[in-house]
Structure formats: C-alpha cells, structure tokens
Amino acid sequence: MESSQIALSALTPGFADPVHDTQAVFRTLLDALSRPGTIGLIGDVLPEPHGTRAEPAAFAALLALCDDTTPVWLAQADTALASAVRFHTGAPLVDAPATAAFAYIHEAGALPLLESFAPGSAESPEQSATLLIRVEALTGGAPVVLSGPGILDTATISPAGLPARFWRERAALAPLFPCGVDCYLVCGTRLIGLPRTTEAKVN
C-alpha cells in the first residue's frame, strides 16, 4: 500500500478540470489542423512545472486525444510522461512507430522516417498516425510555403529545428492520399498543425 501511495504521489498531474480542459485543448488542436500555418495556443490547463520533459502543448494534446484504443509511441524515453499518459488516458504504450496512433518526438533530429508510421488504409484512412514533433521554435527557420484546404492562397511558416528531410518525406507521402500522417509542430504551449492535405514548399 505504501509503495503504491508513493507512486501515486509522484505521478504527473493531468488537467485540473478534465472535461472542460479536454474540450478546450481539442478545439485548439482541431482549429490548428483546419487552418494550417496558424499558431494555436494551449491555455493554462497544466500545473507548472508539469513534471515531464514533454512540451506542455504535446502533453496536453496527448491527454486530450488519447484513450485506451489509441496506442502511443514515445520516441525518447520519458518515464514521467509514459506513466502520466497511461494513468490519465488509459492509452497503451508501444515499442514501434508503425503500431502507434499517436507519437511524440521530443528530439526532432531523431525523427524516424515518416514512412515508418501507419498511414491508414484506403478503407480506413483515419486509422493513421498523428505526430507531435517538438521543434526549437515555430519561427526563425527556413521559410516553408503552405497551400491547400483551409489556407487562403498561401501561408508561410518558418519552424526551426526540423530535419530538412522531413519536408521531402512529407511530399513523398502525398500520392497516398487519403492515407498519410498528420503532424503538429509543438514548442512550449504553442503549436502548428500540418494535416496530410497541406502541400509544403521549402523556399
């Protein structure tokens, strides 16, 4: 009993108001994907400090999106994050990116090939992976011009810290549509959504 009490006391807290905060974060995530290129802000929904290495936006997204039917893959070891995801969402943790519904990549330079993740199928394209990728900053990097649904003409973003191959690998997945992977670039409490429908050209 004593050891389980200690483990519970060491657990990273989740949302203070799970229903309200989950809904608020989900709306932010949905808006970011429906308007690619805009920066979404995750509100003050997590305790500070929140106890994991994960960016607050990524941790909040996992809490809002995951449940016991969505396997999660963590590219870098984070015991506190793994325990919190399991406890607060019931999501199983998996050892391979190919079996993940959601993945958190804390070190963008160690991002596996995008083809390593599940793209869904023609019958069930929604059974694909969503990636949460931590970047050094959402501005200050090489300009990338976005176009596609949700964007009036074009939008330009300049995230810093992504490997250059990321954009090439994304483009290589485009012919698979409606299959593919959706991505969020996260930094602190902010994020940018990159749905599979968005075309990206690096200047």
pLDDT per residue over 126-182, tens digit each? 999 999 999 999 999 999 999 999 999 999 999 999 999 999 999 999 999 999 999
Q: What is the pLDDT of residue 50?
A: 60
- 3-state class (DSSP) for residue 17: coil
Q: In the structure, what pLDDT confidence band is assigned to residue 100 with cuts at 50, 70 and 90?
A: very high
pLDDT digits (tens, 9 = 90+) for 176-199: 999 999 999 999 999 999 999 999
Q: Which CATH architecture has domain 2-202?
A: 3-Layer(aba) Sandwich (3.40)
**What are the boundaries of each domain within the chain?**
2-202
Residue 62's closest CA among 77, 75, 73?
73
Determine phi and psi for 194, rounding to 5 degrees.
-130, 85
In terms of Cα–Cα distance, which of 85, 131, 78, 91 is closest to 108? 131
Residue 8 CB neighbours (<10 A): 9
